[in-house]
Structure 1
Amino acid sequence: MNWFEVKVKYQKIDEQGKEKKISEPYLVDAVSFTEAESRIYEELKPYLGEEFNILNIKRANYSDLFFYDSGDRWFKCKVVFVTLDEEKGVEKKTSNYMLVQATDIDEALSNLTESMKDCTVDYSVQSVQETPIMDVFPYFKDDNGTEDIAGLTPVSDLEPNKEFDSEV
């Protein structure tokens, strides 16, 4: 998976009835910057119409995401895995960042621990911090089990090219 953080700007009417410009980051699973831009328009159009602009798209460095329906916020967790290099006899530490959905930091840590319970490698949680990410749009397969990529047809659904096949 390739995660992209997409910053979107739009106008919102606040509680006092005044228009206010809002900038919010979203996370999108995509194969390229172009697809991330296309997907964010597709995902946000039902909620914001076409009245929003993309300010920035950057790669996000998350090795795993853990979804929990009870959570309404996203927390970035730094997890350090410890492995032993048997040839050199030294410990090797590798840092990974994971995103966990929760309502607060304590729940985020609990959800992370639950998600990592089957991990066979020693690890430690170095930090847990709330992110400004508003929503996450993962890549899903449709009801038929085929990949849901806008405008693309899976190779398995294409008819064979008889002209090409006869040349081989």
Structure 2
Amino acid sequence: MSEIWFECKVKYRKTQDTGEQKITTETYLLDAVSYTEAETRINEEMKAYTSEEFRIMNIRVANFAEVHPFDNSDRWFKSKVSLIALDEESGKEKKSNIYLLIQANDVKEAFENTNKALEETMGDYTIPSITESPILDVFPYFTGEEEQLEKFKVIETAESELIADE
């Protein structure tokens, strides 16, 4: 199942470094299966993030093909990647664009991290643009698959022991 990323804009009162409170609108990214789930998830995440009242101003499907977090980075960048393929009928190069969300500290590092993210790509590509994204944080969806796998292993081991005892 492919991920659907939703960009959520949330307005709330934020305490600045100076101690002053200011109303701000910030953008967050999360994956969900529907707008309804995205709204539920951003509500949960924001309740954990702030004790202030907040309003969800907008939810829209984001056009990111992939999201790549990197350690020791604090900003998000939108990398436009042009995948290059050869059209066998006409013999001409054909480009198709995808967008990656890359975590980095600056544009240079975002370029390097985009190349790292595309290391295993078999085809040719170019990176025509990288821009800083307004996204403040990313909340990936965790299904608890790891826990389910562990439970399955425990059940499987218990069944094997029962069969061995018979």
2:147 match? 144
- State the 1:31 CA deviation: 1.0
Runs of 4+ in 1 over 4 A off after TM superposition: none
TM-score with structure 1 length normalisation?
A: 0.82
- State the 1:132 CA deviation: 1.1
The number of aligned residues is: 146
1:126 match? 128
Would you say the 8 A contact 2:13–2:52 is kept in 1? no
1:102 match? 104
Segments of 5+ residues of structure 2 without an aligned counterpart are: 150-166
2:84 match? 82
**Structure in which a larger fraction of residues adopt helix:** 2
- State the 1:64 CA deviation: 0.9
C-alpha separation in 1, matches of 2:88 and 2:24: 52
**Within 5 A, what are the aligned runs for 1:16-31?**
16-31=18-33
C-alpha separation in 2, matches of 1:38 and 1:56: 13
SS at structure 2 position matched to 1:112: helix
C-alpha separation in 1, matches of 2:63 and 2:18: 38
Deviates more, 1:13-22 or 1:70-79: 13-22
Q: CA RMSD in A?
A: 1.4
- State the 1:73 CA deviation: 0.5
- State the 1:14 CA deviation: 2.4
TM-score with structure 2 length normalisation?
A: 0.83
- The question of 1:116 aligning with 2:115 is answered no
Segments of 5+ residues of structure 1 without an aligned counterpart are: 147-168
